[in-house]
């Protein structure tokens, strides 16, 4: 089983969050490689490059400078090349408005940033393992929000 590692992309403007995210994934030992971007513009530049491999999973912060997560999500869903990417929203917000809006715009999951490193690891493990479940429609609203 010499498969290449699964690429997981995280777009988040907070350096601490990016660091903690990468550390959590590393500690899970799931044979994944993490690519981090600092904002929406950088993310879309990275994804639209021809040589970029399709990421297995994309974690998208909502509140980012230059281009926010919701805009990125909409662009991804409208792009013929990128629309199949499994997108999990990764945000501080737990407001109904944000959850509803991202669900309607075609996000596959919603993870509220946990306050505890152990919970972050647990949540990431679950999301990476079950990413394919959320890839195909119809996914349902009931398990859209990941509960940790």
Partner 1 sequence: MKKNRHSLLEVRLIYVITTIFLVGLSIYLFFQIKNLIDISNWVNHTNQVNQSLQKLSSSLLEAESEHRGYLLSGEAVMLEKRDLALNSLKVEQHLLDSLLKDNPEQIQNLKKLNLAIVEGLVNIKNTSAGKVPEYDKVGSIEEAKKIAYVKHHIEVMRKAENQLLTLRTKDYTQLSFKTPFFLTVLSVCALLMLLVSYFRINTELHNTQNLQHELLFENVEKGKRAAELVIANIELIYENKEKEKRAAELVIANNELVFQNGEKEKRAAELIIANKELVFENEDKEKRAAELVIANVELLFQNGEKEKRAAELVIANKELFFQNGEKEKRAAELVIANKELFFQNGEKEKRAAELVIANKELFFQNGEKEKRASELIVANKELESLNYISSHDLQEPLRSIQMFASRIVGKDYENLTDNGKSYFKKMQNAAVRMQTLLDDLLNYSRTNNEVRKFKRTNLNTIVDEIIADLKETIDEKQATIETIDLPVVDIIPFQFRQLIHNLISNALKFSNSDTPPHIQIKSNVVQGDELESELPSDWPEKGLREAKYCHIVVSDNGIGFEPEYSEKIFEVFQRLHGREKYKGTGMGLAIVKKIVENHNGVITATSELNKGAKFDIYFPFN
C-alpha closest to that of 38 among 7, 5, 60: 60
Q: In whole angstroms, how far apart are CA 80 and each of 74, 83, 104, 116?
A: 12, 6, 18, 37
Which range in 51-59, 80-88, 123-131, 133-141 contacts partner 1 by CB under 8 A? 133-141
- Supply the minimum distance, in Å, between the C-beta of residue 134 and partner 1: 14
Q: Is 143 a residue that touches partner 1 (CB under 8 A)?
A: no
| Residue 142 binds partner 1, judged by CB under 8 A | no
Q: Distance (Å, rounded) from C-alpha 48 to C-alpha 54?
A: 10
Q: Residues 113, 124, 128, 144: which binds partner 1 (CB under 8 A)?
A: 113
Q: Is 104 among the residues that bind partner 1 (CB under 8 A)?
A: yes
84 interacts with partner 1 by CB under 8 A: no
Beta-bridge mates of residue 58: 9, 87
Rule CB under 8 A: say whether 117 interacts with partner 1. Answer: yes
Q: What residues from 13 to 32 belong to the interface with partner 1 (CB under 8 A)?
A: 14, 16-17, 20, 23
Beta strands in the chain (DSSP E): 6-11, 32-37, 57-60, 87-91, 109-112
Query: Does the protein bind partner 1 through residue 50 (CB under 8 A)?
Result: no
């Amino acid at each position: 089983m010499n498969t290449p590692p699964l690429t997981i992309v995280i777009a988040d403007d907070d350096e601490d969050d990016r660091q903690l995210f990468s550390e959590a994934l590393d500690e899970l030992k799931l044979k994944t490689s993490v690519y981090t971007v600092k904002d929406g513009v950088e993310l879309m530049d990275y994804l639209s490059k021809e040589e970029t491999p399709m990421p297995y999973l994309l974690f998208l912060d909502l509140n980012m400078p230059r281009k926010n997560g919701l805009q990125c999500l909409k662009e991804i869903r409208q792009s013929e090349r990128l629309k199949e990417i499994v997108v999990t929203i990764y945000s501080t917000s737990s407001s109904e408005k944000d959850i509803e809006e991202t669900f309607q715009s075609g996000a596959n999951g919603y993870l509220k940033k946990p306050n505890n490193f152990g919970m972050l690891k647990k949540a990431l493990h679950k999301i990476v393992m079950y990413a394919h479940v959320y890839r195909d429609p119809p996914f349902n609203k009931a398990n859209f929000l990941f509960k940790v």
